[in-house]
Chain A
């Protein structure tokens, strides 16, 4: 679904992504780990077509939606309007299918998105992304700033969509436990370069990865 080859992205003279190669197969859930400033969000924005690559190729094999870091809702608009605008690309204006998936959103429909709690906002961002009927979903920092229960709830929804609809997911996370739980494979990005990749089960045993991402300090 996602095929990234030799991707280079730079801001002026600074290189954010340095010859990155990465794939996400059909129906696959893949994690991308890395510390702050590794270039994870740059990749997310490049996949979404917001940032143009300097060189290399990006192939997307279906409709892609992005749940951006920090939710990035339209704070002045209602939840229903936020969802409706999520259907800009797909032409889907009626959020009822998303309400079925996330019934809590139906209750919040009339509220201004800016006044919601972090978990509710992430749910709106999730619903908004689903409005574009994606075949592949890029999730940038699902768990950031959320209570564990809320994260688990959203993660369960992701896993369910993956199972029932074959939704491919690229999960960009700092929380390696969550990533390893959900995904089969993972990439580790540091300073714009891939440092390692492989099956989650193996990576979890890799002492370097374990030290950096599964250590006590990491939640």
Chain B
């Protein structure tokens, strides 16, 4: 029982990181129609930044904050490449973000080398119902919950958030009322960078991160986002938690070597089932 509980919380923490990546993907996709392949890169950038800043002696809090902001800047730059030029189609933008991800490899190796790096997080653990739970796991869950609440408030309550939703809801109408849809797209990319950055900062103390960790992150994030058809953040959140718990349970109970296959296979099946429900015509507009 205690093993189950600690696997569960561990899994939820992993799922939270995936959820943050997925929410970044969803945010960008809703506003711009682009699937951002560089979403995992933002987490890597933030994770590596944190480890460097902490290594340089900057205090906790400041280091993480600066790292998240660096990721937001990376998001903005990615957006400029992906949608900055008029007439770039979403699929061309996807390939551009793929290029940005590879370019980031070059930059990251120059700055941080090609070996995995870690960063100290919250030390210690608490015992709940006989299960040892790392404090960092609780921190990840808490921060993710807070981030999702803030995100919901931002989109649901603020004028800027509503303008972003408006761009997703009807881009033509957004232009009619004078909203610069491209600038909103860039904002969405920056926000996606921010969310990816939070994921990276939270996850680096749990598992070391290196320049090519982004593939695992983006694939898991995309898998979760696909649950919500790339447009619904809340369903993506549940998808991510399910994925995180399923992977951790599989690992915990001895099927760990196949957790990636299970997650990816699940993603493909979900996509195919969803595709079956849509007609060819409506899909062609996706």
Q: List chain A positions with a Cβ less than 8 A from chain B.
A: 48, 50, 66, 68, 72-77, 81, 84-86, 88-89, 93, 128, 132
Instruction: Flag if B159 contacts A68 (CB, 8 Å).
Output: no
Binding site for A on B (CB under 8 A): 159, 162-163, 165-166, 168-170, 172-179
What 6 additional pairs, Cβ within 8 angstroms, besides A77-B169, A81-B162, A86-B177? A48-B176, A72-B172, A75-B169, A85-B177, A85-B179, A88-B179
Set of chain B residues within 8 Å of A74, measured between Cβ atoms = 165-166, 169-170, 173-174
Cα separation A85 to B171 with both chains bound (whole Å): 13
The answer to whether B163 touches A76, judged by C-beta atoms less than 8 angstroms apart, is: no
Q: Would B177 and A128 count as touching, CB distance under 8 A?
A: yes
Closest to B156 in A: A81
A132 and B170 in contact, given A81-B162, A84-B159, A93-B159 (Cβ under 8 angstroms): no
Q: Are A76 and B169 in contact (CB under 8 A)?
A: yes
For the complex, what is the distance from the CA of A66 to the CA of B162, rounded to whole Å?
20
Is B173 a contact partner of A88 (Cβ separation < 8 A)?
no
Q: Tell me which residues across on chain A come within 8 A of B166, comparing CB atoms.
A: 74, 77, 81, 85
Give 19 CB contacts A-B under 8 Å.
Answer: A48-B176, A50-B172, A68-B176, A72-B172, A72-B173, A75-B170, A76-B168, A77-B162, A77-B165, A81-B166, A84-B162, A85-B159, A85-B166, A85-B174, A85-B177, A88-B177, A88-B179, A93-B159, A128-B177
Contact at A76–B178, with CB atoms within 8 Å? no
For residue B179, which residues in chain A have a CB less than 8 angstroms away from its CB? 85, 88
> Chain B residues with Cβ under 8 A from A128's Cβ?
177
Contact indicator B172/A68 (Cβ below 8 Å) = yes
User: Which residues of A are found within 8 Å of B170, using beta-carbon distances?
Assistant: 72-75
Residue in A50, A81, A132 with the greatest tally of chain B CB atoms within 10 Å: A81
How many A-B residue pairs lie within 8 Å, measured between CB atoms?
52
Q: CB distance B175 to A88 under 8 Å?
A: no
Q: Which of A75, A76, A89, A93 contacts B177 (CB 8 A)?
A: A89
Task: Report A-chain residues with C-beta under 8 Å of the C-beta of B172.
Answer: 50, 68, 72
Cα separation A84 to B163 with both chains bound (whole Å): 10
Assembled-state Cα–Cα distance A76/B163 (Å): 12
Residues of B within 8 A of A85 (CB): 159, 162-163, 166, 174, 177, 179
Contacts of A88 in B (CB 8 A): 163, 177-179
**B175 in contact with A50 (CB, 8 Å):** yes
CA distance A130 to B163 in the complex (A): 18
Minimum CB distance partner of B167 in chain A: A74
Residues in B whose Cβ lies below 8 Å from that of A86: 177
With a cutoff of 8 Å between Cβ atoms, the chain B residues found around residue A77 in the complex are: 162, 165-166, 169
Residues in B whose Cβ lies below 8 Å from that of A48: 175-176
> Which residue of A is nearest B180, CB measured?
A88
* Bound complex: CA A80 to CA B213 (Å): 44
Instruction: Let me know if A132 and B173 touch, CB within 8 A.
Output: no
CA of A190 to CA of B166, assembled, Å: 34
A32 to B191 alpha-carbon distance, docked (Å):
43
Separation of A178 and B166 alpha carbons in the complex (Å): 32
Among residues of A, the one whose C-beta sits closest to the C-beta of B170 is A74
Closest 9 CB pairs of A and B: A89-B178, A72-B173, A74-B169, A76-B169, A74-B166, A88-B178, A88-B177, A50-B175, A81-B162
What is the bound-complex CA distance between A85 and B175, given in angstroms?
Answer: 11
Among A68, A75, A86, A88: residue with most chain B CB under 10 A: A88
Contact B176 A72 (CB under 8 A): yes
User: CA separation between A85 and B166, bound complex, in Å?
Assistant: 8
Counting chain A CB atoms within 10 Å of each CB, which of B159, B165, B166, B176 scores highest? B176
List A contacts of B165 (CB < 8 A): 74, 76-77
Give bound CA distance, A77 to B169, whole Å. 8
Across-interface contacts of B169 in A (CB, < 8 A)? 74-77
CA distance A68 to B170 in the complex (A): 12
What are the residues of chain A within 8 A of B168 when measuring CB–CB? 76
- Determine how close the nearest CB of chain B comes to the CB of A164; give it in whole angstroms: 24
A75-B170, A77-B165 known; A50-B176 Cβ under 8 A: yes
How long is the Cα–Cα vector from A48 to B170 in the complex, in angstroms?
Answer: 16
Q: How long is the Cα–Cα vector from A93 to B169 in the complex, in angstroms?
A: 19
| C-alpha spacing A36/B234, complex, angstroms | 42
